[in-house]
Amino acid sequence: MQSVYLDNNATTMVDPKVKEIMQPYFCEYFGNPNSLHKFGTQTHHAIHEAISELYKGINADDNDDVIITGCATESNNWVLKGIYFDLIFNGNKKHIVTTEVEHPAVGATCSFLESLGVRITRLPINEYGNISAQQVEEAICDDTALVSIMWANNETGLIFPIHEIGQICKKKGVLFHTDAVQAIGKIPVDVQSANVDFLSFSAHKFHGPKGIGGLYIRNGVSLTPLLHGGEHMRGRRSGTLNVPYIIGMGEAMRLAVEYLDFEHVSVRGLRDYLEDELLKIKDVFVVGSRENRVPNTTLISVRGIEGEAMLWDLNKAGIGCSTGSACASEDLEANPVMVAIGADKELAHTAIRISLSRFNTKEEMDYMIAVFKKAVDRLRNISSSY
């Protein structure tokens, strides 16, 4: 049976080039880079190269910090809890601005801080699935410690106005964090032109290994560590460096930048082709304009068909998609972004997220289109609501 992976916003395949470059760092060069003997120092050059790819990939300045973390969930937790200690618990700020549609790594951490007495403003998205810089400007108060808004949404792929928000935060003197997990490798990401103070990323969303990510911290910005211990990573994050994974993430970032044009043209071309064909089916809707969306993502709704039922039919034919966030898709809940854009209750349960990568092909799209159409016919025939 054919096997087609269209759930790249949940995780991606490790690029074989990434796997290859990691290989020697398990059994040959296994030293602790902090050790002073040759086993330790053997890894220094490769780690340095990998980390400099991370700096290049997001256009960080040499004086900024790019700190390796265990995942983007850690990066997001770290920014919010670190700022809590710096500016709220030990300072006179009391307020954080975020959106209603952040990844749970931001959303649930904000709820935790709320339970400690922090005031959280969660900006709603508009009917186009986006938020405006003006909403952010109006939400910032004298006691705002941090603005945390994702670069691109994981469900819809919609790109938020990060450059304008960065300008506003700079003007108002408020720290700005962006979860850029869904932007890296899909659109250009430049921490300097966007005026961000913190930026989270995760290797497994751009064809690197799972269980490693990073946090960009602008030069001079203090952030209480989440993990105290040794002096790793300039004292910002303790724990022995995960050498092979850091090297893998560096290579994955290098490739992500190298393939940006390919993503912009070829992946987008496949996505648009697929979307155009699926939109020919009666009563099918796509969320958000194409211009403002990362090239690989489509959130599509088929009136009359539960998202889960559709996934089941696709899965039987060897196709992997999702009804939304991998973290939330286990229970039969309405897609949160669909609810936020004001979709009626029935339509909110029909969302299917299709997310491509540079490894998908035209043949796979044709297979998907055929299977999708067949599934719509079958499920609408047995549906009581259609």
Ligand X SMILES: *Cc1c(COP(=O)(O)O)cnc(C)c1O
Q: Which residues are catalytic?
A: 327
d(CA 99, CA 83): 17
Question: Which candidate, 196, 303, 206, 178, places its Cα nearest to that of 263?
Answer: 206
What are the DSSP calls for 188-255, one per residue?
A: ---TTTTT-SEEEEEGGGTTS-SS-EEEEE-TT-----SS-SSSGGGGTS-S---HHHHHHHHHHHHH
Q: Which is nearer to ligand X, 155 or 284 (CB)?
A: 155
DSSP character for 147? E
Shortest CB 9 distance to ligand X, Å: 6
* Residue ranges binding ligand X (CB under 6 A): 71-73, 103, 105, 150, 154, 179, 181-182, 202, 205, 213
Q: Shortest distance, CB of residue 260 to ligand X, whole angstroms?
A: 18
Residue 55 β-bridge partners:
none
3-state secondary structure of 161: coil
Q: Which lies closer to ligand X via its Cβ, residue 129 or residue 213?
A: 213
Report the nearest approach of ligand X to the CB of residue 73 (Å).
3
Give the up-direction half-sphere exposure of residue 228: CA atoms within 13 A in the CB hemisphere: 2
Min separation Cβ 11 and ligand X, Å: 7
Q: Which is nearer to ligand X, 105 or 165 (CB)?
A: 105
Mapping DSSP onto H, E and C, the string for 60-110 reads CCCCCEEEEECCHHHHHHHHHHHHHHHHHHCCCCCEEEEECCCCHHHHHHH
| Residue (150 or 337) nearer to ligand X, CB | 150
Query: Residue 288 and residue 274: Cα distance in Å, rounded?
Result: 16
d(CA 304, CA 141): 44
- Least distance CB 37 / ligand X (angstroms): 33
Q: Which is nearer to ligand X, 72 or 174 (CB)?
A: 72
* Phi and psi, residue 7, nearest 5°: -130, 45
Q: CB within 8 A of 2, min separation 6: which ones?
A: 317, 318, 364, 367
Q: Which residues of 261-287 are buried (b: 16+ CB within 10 A; e: fewer)?
A: eebeebbbebbeebbebbeebeebebb
Query: CA–CA distance from 357 to each of 166, 278, 340 (Å)?
Result: 28, 18, 27
Residue 117 beta carbon to ligand X: minimum distance, rounded to whole angstroms: 25
Q: How far is the CB of 220 from ligand X (least distance, A)?
A: 26
**Which lies closer to ligand X via its Cβ, residue 160 or residue 372?**
160
State the Cα–Cα distance between residues 85 and 91, nearest whole angstrom. Answer: 8
Residue (186 or 349) nearer to ligand X, CB: 186
